[in-house]
Structure 1
Amino acid sequence: MARLITRRLLVSVGLVFAVSLATFLLQSAAPGDMARTILGDTYTPDAHERLRHQLGLDQHILVQYWHWLVNALSGDLGTSPISGLNVADEIASRLSVTSSLVICATLVTTIAGVALGVVSAVRGGRVGRAVDVLSLIGYALPSFWFALGMVTVFSVMVNLLPATGYVPLSSSPGEWFRSMILPVTTLALPGVALFAKQTRDAMLDVLSRDFVVALRANGVSERSIVFRHALRNASIPVVTLVGLTLVSLLSGTVFVESVFAMPGLGGLAVQATAQHDIRMIQGVVVVFTLVVVTANLVVDLVYGWLNPKVRVR
């Protein structure tokens, strides 16, 4: 297991470096720059060049990246020239919103999807067909339509849940929970359908194997077969799906935070991109990459625990 962790950590360091460099190069190649955004529509060429020099934008792109990397390795992500805000502080103030969305949506997706998949595989018949129908609905429904529909029903017509905004957990756990219901449901719906389908197929495959037949012949209870033996063997592809789902939910937060007016990292990334704020974009990308790397590392460890063969590869 130690070798597995070491290999994954080495790969993760290279991944963070590669993603940060690629982001820097792509953003620098985009039309426009920070100097024009700061000066506005009316500016003189001399003022534009002076500001570019002050910001270091006239240096070679790799030199700019090197300066940023040296500061980032010391924990300094810099200050946004456009907003004047400290990048690390701004990200920290918004991180709780995005992390709450991603963690809650991942939990809801995993628990609900696995439960539906297990019930469908064990019961079959109408239950199995119902899961198939729900899966198709989850895939087919556009997220924006589903989000707007829930806002219309639960916020406008019933006035039961808030349509927009975010309440910190430390301020009011109850209001935090209410503010998370609609955005988390919007994020989780497509994933629930995918998890249910994947879990059902994996469970059906495991339940048809010879060792399950032998367990039933030896009088082992059906509950023990399903939850102690079949579910553990079927959970290996599901665990991989958890990591992929968490990563996909990070990109989904950009849409959800915009619809429900939540001050998270997704909205910050969109705003920084529109303003060509390279320092803010770099900070957000690094945080997203670290989240992805951490999620993949946890998935690999769980995968190694479930499948010992992975530990020695």
Structure 2
Amino acid sequence: MTAVLRMVGGRLLWSVPLLLVLSALTFTLSWLTPGDAARTILGTNTDPAAYRQVREQLGLDRPLSEQYWTWLTHAVRGDLGNSLFTGEPVASALNARLGVSLCLLAGAALVIAVAGVAVGMAGALRGGLTGRILDAASVIGMSVPQPWFGLVLVVVFAVNLGLFPVTGYVPFVQSPGDWARSLVLPAVCLAAGGIAMIAKQVRGAMVDVLGRPYVRALRANGLPARSIVFRHAAKNAALPVVNVFGVVLIGMLGGSIVVEQLFALPGLGQLAVSATAQHDLPVLQGVVLYFTALVVVVNLLTDLVSGWLMPRAATS
């Protein structure tokens, strides 16, 4: 228990400099981007005096370091500021959209876990031509562009077959069935590359474990094949798969921005795109903060699961 608490504390401690670096980098890159919120609000052809007045009202005329320090001192107290366009508190805007992004990520993670493990296990156990076909399918899956794959899903399953909605999101409280249907295509689109990566990792890990001496000894002792695979080999092969799965989940955070735009899901990714286009720095900083927190949580869960699996793998 002490080791677990020490590991959790270390992860949380490392998250502090990570948040500082990413927030400062976001401020700097936004400052280097042509244009600003005042220009977006007033338009291109506007009176210079009005432009200067709006910049002063928004605090954009102050030095970049001063703007960042003001945001940081408020952020550590839980105040992420207000949107430069709507005046809505940033925390409220983010919390209203967080559930959509979490549902999308959870659905994609479920698809990856089920499909990736199933394909990888099939490739490892069957081998031969089947294994090579699954390997080739995995490579293709990692190479397919996400927007193109999403459009194919929409054309086939939404437009032609009418099984799922083309775009949009239905809240769970409004209709659980429609909520699930609205997430199927986005989750599959987001999970496509991850399925391929996990399938390759599972197949490689299982082939390696099944070739070890203790597995041959279990077979020689007449242990059933199902018991060897699922009670012994899978346990030892799970550890590297879990580590890769954590990396895949973190990579999906970036992919969720594209998927939310493609399927018109009102999540954090879509909010990040609109905030970037409008130079709404407080909102963009809030999105970066939330995404960074999700990265920390995923890494923490990955470490906890890996620590739980390690002694079991060693005793198999």
TM-score under structure 1 length normalisation: 0.94
Gaps of 5+ in 2: none
Aligned equivalents of 1:213, 1:226: Cα separation in 2: 12
Pick from 263, 275, 283: which aligns with 2:278? 275
Q: Where does residue 147 of structure 2 map in the other structure?
A: 144
Where do residues 1-313 of structure 1 align in structure 2 (5 Å cutoff)? 1=3, 2-307=5-310
TM-score under structure 2 length normalisation: 0.93
Aligned equivalents of 2:60, 2:144: Cα separation in 1: 44
Moved over 6 A (4+): none
Write the letter of the residue equivalent to 1:36: R
The number of aligned residues is 309
Gaps of 5+ in 1: none
Which segment drifts farther, 167-176 or 215-224?
A: 215-224
> How far off its partner does 1:275 sit?
0.8
Q: Deviations over 1:250-281 (max 9, x none)?
A: 11111111111111111111111011110010
Q: Deviations over 1:89-121 (max 9, x none)?
A: 111111111111111101111221012111221
Does the C-alpha gap of structure 1 residues 157 and 272 become closer, same or farther in structure 2, counting only changes over 3 Å?
same
Aligned equivalents of 1:95, 1:5: Cα separation in 2: 24
> How far off its partner does 1:145 sit?
2.2
Aligned equivalents of 1:80, 1:213: Cα separation in 2: 63
Write the letter of the residue equivalent to 2:200: K
CA RMSD of aligned residues (A): 1.7
Q: Deviations over 1:189-215 (max 9, x none)?
A: 121111111110111011111121222
Which segment drifts farther, 239-248 or 139-148?
A: 139-148
Q: Deviations over 1:220-256 (max 9, x none)?
A: 3222221122112111111111111111111111111
Write the letter of the residue equivalent to 1:23: T
> How far off its partner does 1:124 sit?
1.7
